[in-house]
Structure 1
């Protein structure tokens, strides 16, 4: 097995990319090879960004490669370049930045090796090179050229005849009318509003099968006599990705005053008429099972604590309330899940009330799964992602300090799922 293949196999295990690993590594390798002036030109970019020591450590195969974080990588290569390589790799920019921090140092080491890391492209070029003597001894005669040309012409003639015959047969069998594809222009919708035992249902789904499944599931949970309204059929609506999960969760999504409205990738929740414990249980269930949807109206200990802060409360109390909130990220990534958007807005609202000049640390922590060095790097990237999200909402960069602590400060047992979930957290701390 070549060094290149061993590198891909190790990366597939460490980053959990599976079969996509080879493609991503090939894209990064091709970009490195296509860089003006090769590795020397790439090295100059890192030196200009003040990262010369890191790049030099990557080019020495016998030395320990120094790690790099996403913000440093973006400083050296530029956000546009990273986005372009991410697009070619088929990954989102946020996920690719995490992966590139792990893969680029190894690719540079391989390309710096005397044999270029036995890259497949290099192997193909080597096989395609022939010696002049062999080429001279295998020059075909004019007769052979003539036979080859006649063979090609005969093959083209046969292919043309077969193609015309096939087209005529298909044309004869094609009916005068065909079913046209219906363009998907609308978002699928489903609204559930419970009053006591009665449930008002409205919305539109793209197929009769989906409409029947949703109505039958509602009837099984609430009873046919307690349902009113209906679900319309809209063939132009896009197929809802959330319908299967909603049908499975219906027994847990009940309560007088509960109002849920699914619309495309948006979920609006209203639990204001329910007891606090019910509100939190339903919000936990929705965040757990629909993390890709952008939600509004969630309720939890952190959001409740922030909502109950009196006007003029001191900064220490604000930070204490912030530490009851929960932000979630996609597995192995610094990309916030859709259900975290509302919490980010609530955190930003709380930070707007802090006095000018105060600084707040955003501390990111991980569980103990994976390598400690990779977890430290991931936590730093997650802290920076939260900081950037808050800055986009108007919080000054001078107020925020992003720090990644990795797995070194657990607050629960990493041997259980619930413990690891508690250890994956964002903490806020007031700095002197």
Structure 2
């Protein structure tokens, strides 16, 4: 397929993988179709459990795909899984991590063209079609051979083959291709990578001092509890069996063994522990969740990413017990703050005539991005629409910089990427509203330009922001900026 060839070629060039990009993609498809790992749904659930539910939704539904960082990929799949895929493809693990983070959104998007997760038979059919693009793999050879065999048979029968054997032959060929892919993925001898000429520095910051070949990055622990009519599903990753046993024992005692499923809770020794005091605070919270029947509660690293359906007393206790953690906007108070700020920004934009006045008004607004997401929420769009009306009237040569900023939580590189992605999203939205692209630049600063110390939740909230600057040409001047021009998380 042309599309498959295109992303293989781009990944090969971008990450210095050459022809091995095809092997890496084949290994990724092998994981996606592995029934023992839960198949496609199980693959997507790993990302949801790592707090990337919004990103997964963007890959499946129509629209832009939210990118993920190397760290987010490892948090979802686990360091050992990524290393295994890299070894099977004969690729350095650091380069494989970056390439897989790049490939995953594109592959999921391609496998869900109608905006829904396909059933198993439809998935196998689509993957079988993709395999024809892998000329250098066993799976690709099998797919090509199957196609050639069918075409010869069809020609020999004058086209009658399509009507007489299509119903049983095509499924068999699809199954054959998938069986070979699974066999190749599970049994291929890992290729030594010590002497390969893979460029592991492509797209990596110049100031990175870590030896990517020697040190595997740790992933964040996560625990997610989904309640549905008094039945509870617990998923996530924890660093050791002792932590898992604590969780299993406590939830079993509270809800009963028949009502709780722990199949999705796994142990990864490379996972970093959840935030300080998590178990003590969770133990105190648990009694107030006894009557909780439907909703979701999720912990990732030192953040709470979901709190739907919880009783008010539990919400109040979370705000008290986890006051130093990053909380969802729905309970942190940021939602109310954003609403008030955006109302004030709209009022100022209604009176704005010059670019300086527009920038000043924009710096009052708050874009409450969801955790690790760059999708602009609906409540911020009226502000951008009003700003675009004024910006379209500005003279040639007007320039505005859209700067993305985060707090200091998390990985430096991931914060830098996230801030750039969010700044790009705001620029794209303004261009879509008719603002000239040449007027706008987007730059991610990560955590490098705080407006307050990163020592309290309130100060971190101030540092998570989109900040606008204006000037002429390349000479940019910061207008008066209120420290409340924030984004929600990280």
The alignment's TM-score, normalised by the length of structure 1, stands at 0.39
| Higher RCO, 1 vs 2 (CA within 8 Å, ≥6 residues apart) | 2
Whichever of the two has the greater Rg, that structure is: 1
